[in-house]
Structure 1
């Protein structure tokens, strides 16, 4: 029951943040920059966070559920990315749709890697040594 509550609380906060950013940064000349922004930020944060958890070598299931599954899971949005991509294709914006797909996938992977590298470079193990 506690696990469900952790995911729920993290999900609530993540969804509110996602909605707020989506309202603040919307579509720029047909390009869904708001969704792209939250998804790329989520890739970076999740890559960093899960690496830090791994480096600490502790059982942090509750924190991982709260932040990783709950917050980041609801903050990022693959379904909105998919719907926006289909809409771009339907509206005849083929180049924008293709750019959106490529940037979302490849830059998302790159941001996840950057988060991992940041945590690996500056993270410390429980023993105090830098990895």
Structure 2
């Protein structure tokens, strides 16, 4: 419920744009970073009970991000603009992997500096 409410809140910020799904792109990319950071941050893992950790990562972050909406938007974009659809796919995948890596680096660098 928390993640879905946050995602809805973000969609309200981008409500005026109907040509490109910036809201879904934003939540998915931010979610990639946050999830990777949390999963690779030992301090977070140690200080939270497994149920809280799983609820936070799988529950909150999982419901914040949205693959199903991404998929529907890709199909819609193909009908209106193939180039936008391809751009959206590429930026989502490459950007998601990149931000996962940045989240990993931030989490592990913080641990190495201690």
Q: Normalising by structure 1, what TM-score?
A: 0.78
1:2-17 equivalences under 5 Å are 12-17=1-6
1:39 aligned to 28, 38, 41, which one? 28
Q: In 2 relative to 1, CA 27–78 (structure 1 residues): closer, same or farther, beyond 3 Å?
A: farther
Which residue number in structure 1 is paired with residue 89 of structure 2? Answer: 101
- Give 3-state SS (helix, strand or coil) of 2:107's partner: helix
Tell me how far 1:29 sits from its aligned partner.
6.4
Which residue number in structure 2 is paired with residue 6 of structure 1? Answer: none
Answer yes or no: is 1:69 the counterpart of 2:69.
Answer: no
TM-superposition CA deviations, 1:25-67 (whole Å, max 9, x none): 1464621110000000000000100001xx2464842122221
TM-superposition CA deviations, 1:65-122 (whole Å, max 9, x none): 221011000000000000000000122x000000000000011000000001001001
Q: Normalising by structure 2, what TM-score?
A: 0.89
Q: Extract unaligned runs of 5+ from structure 1.
A: 1-11
Structure with higher RCO (Cα < 8 A, 6+ apart): 2
For 2:40 and 2:82, locate their aligned partners in 1 and report how far apart those are by CA, in whole Å: 36
Q: Which runs of 4+ in 1 moved over 6 A?
A: none
Which residue number in structure 1 is paired with residue 105 of structure 2? Answer: 117
Q: Extract unaligned runs of 5+ from structure 2.
A: none
For 1:73 and 1:82, locate their aligned partners in 2 and report how far apart those are by CA, in whole Å: 16
For 1:34 and 1:123, locate their aligned partners in 2 and report how far apart those are by CA, in whole Å: 32
The total of aligned residue pairs comes to: 112
